[in-house]
Amino acid sequence: MFGISYWFLPAFSGCVWLGTLLGMLGGWVANGEPQYPWMDGQNIAFISHVGATYWGKPLFIAGSATAQVAFVLSFISERWLRHRGRLTHNYTTAEKALSVCASVFAVIGACGLILLTIFDTRRYPPVHEAMLAVFIAGYIISAIFICAEYQRLGIFYREHRILRASFWIKLTFIFVEIALAIAFGVTQYRTADNSAAIIEWIIALMYIFYTWSFIIDFLPATRTKHKDHRFPPVRAADDEMAMNTQHQGSMTNGPVYSSGGHYGDTESHGSQQPTQQGERAGPSQNF
């Protein structure tokens, strides 16, 4: 893509978001950790409190918008690369549907974050809080769809360990972010605003690592630029037929002749690289 590897998109997105947070936190500390009128007397500022200042709002909007555009492009690129065979193909229509749903909710989450930076907590508190909920919910739901897609991919591509690693990283993000979101809501309900502010900063930082987890998803695409090295197409019907043939052979103690759903021979190149036709492992329900 314009001479830049696709893994650069999530890497850039995470770095921009990290820079935005550090810039806002550093600016607040450098200014003497002021207590703004809209902080309701608490000592530790929320990200949104800093983002409502005259100097923090432009940084908050620009950083969030840039990071989110790059991250949404990561989702679109992932779908395109699987379609082109630069990454492992989606095996079923259900996997493609899960991928699309993940992208849609990522866009919703991105819009929520951008809108909450525009509708700051100082002037539009109800809208700001609603958009915060949209941002968190959007990306958690998106991560759930991604995990479901990768779990299904792992059933048919057991030899590609990178899928398993990505699945567990994203699943961990889901559980951690849900736990932090609950803790954030509880502390706010109990008006423990300083604790809630700390949790909000942690949630924002955890989101960076989720963004960076997509880097490993794009690594196989660095070795499949040439058409001869790309993943061959797959047909689910072929493997269903192969599984039936294997089952019949087991029942009759006869020989089994099946090669799975790939067509075309492709040289193996590593953990998530195309494998030769006869080397592909059969589907498994274990991931």
Given a contact cutoff of 8 angstroms between Cβ atoms, the answer to whether 139 and 75 are in contact is no
The DSSP bridge partners found for residue 234 are 262
265 in a domain, yes or no? no
- The predicted pLDDT at position 74 comes to 95
Given a contact cutoff of 8 angstroms between Cβ atoms, the answer to whether 208 and 22 are in contact is no
Q: Kindly indicate the confidence band of residue 226, based on its pLDDT and cuts at 50, 70 and 90.
A: low
276 in a domain, yes or no? no
Cα–Cα dist 264/233, whole Å? 8
Given a contact cutoff of 8 angstroms between Cβ atoms, the answer to whether 90 and 96 are in contact is yes
- The predicted pLDDT at position 67 comes to 97
Number of structural domains the chain divides into: 1
Encoded amino acid at 151, one letter: Q
Cα–Cα dist 173/210, whole Å? 7
125 in a domain, yes or no? yes
Cα–Cα dist 273/287, whole Å? 18
Q: How far apart are the first and last CA of the chain?
A: 32
229 in a domain, yes or no? no
| Residue 270: count of CB within 10 angstroms of its CB | 13
30 in a domain, yes or no? yes
| Per-residue pLDDT at 273 exceeds 60 | no
Give pLDDT tens digits for 24-79.
Answer: 999 999 999 999 998 887 899 999 999 999 999 999 999 999 999 999 999 999 98
pTM for the full predicted model: 0.77
Cα–Cα dist 106/109, whole Å? 5
Given a contact cutoff of 8 angstroms between Cβ atoms, the answer to whether 64 and 20 are in contact is yes
Q: Token match 């759930």: residue?
A: 144
Which residues are CB-contacts of 110 (< 8 A; sequence separation ≥ 6)? Answer: 68, 69, 71, 72, 135, 138
Q: What domain range is 151 assigned to?
A: 8-223
| Per-residue pLDDT at 249 exceeds 60 | no
Give pLDDT tens digits for 109-166.
Answer: 999 999 999 999 999 999 999 999 999 999 999 999 999 998 888 777 776 778 888 8
| Per-residue pLDDT at 220 exceeds 50 | yes
Candidate from 172-186, 194-208, 253-267 with smallest mean pLDDT: 253-267
| Per-residue pLDDT at 252 exceeds 80 | no
Cα–Cα dist 11/112, whole Å? 21
Both structure tokens of 126: 């109800």
231 in a domain, yes or no? no
Angle of the 125-156 helix axis to the 193-212 helix axis, nearest 10: 40
Cα–Cα dist 115/166, whole Å? 29
95 in a domain, yes or no? yes
Residue 262, classed as helix, strand or coil, is: strand
Mark out the alpha helices in 85-225 (DSSP H runs).
93-118, 125-156, 161-189, 193-212, 214-218
279 in a domain, yes or no? no
